[in-house]
Amino acid sequence: MAKSKQTATSANGGAFILKLVLYVVLGSLWLKLNSNNMSTSFPLPLGLVVGLAFASHEHFQIDRKIEYAVLIVAALIGLMAPYGLFLSF
């Protein structure tokens, strides 16, 4: 019986890490719109919106507060990092 409890615990731990990685990747995605007329870009938190929708409607919730915190921190890091989706018009 002890082995079955360890297996279930390690499976939950793996799912938790996988979900955190998913939320970090989703939260860090931004859509930055660049206009040819203006030198500034307008960032939209596309990944944050998708991640919040996924976290709020998820069937197997681990801890919603942790998921939201990871998404917000990843979004702030993603805003400062030079990667994301860039559209120029």
Residues of the chain with pLDDT under 50: none
Q: By residue range, what is the domain housing residue 8?
A: 2-88
Q: How many domains does the chain have?
A: 1
The three-point CA angle 85-86-89 to 5° equals 140
pTM attached to this predicted model: 0.74
Mean pLDDT score across all residues of the chain: 79
Task: Report the distance separating Cα 88 and Cα 69, nearest Å.
Answer: 31
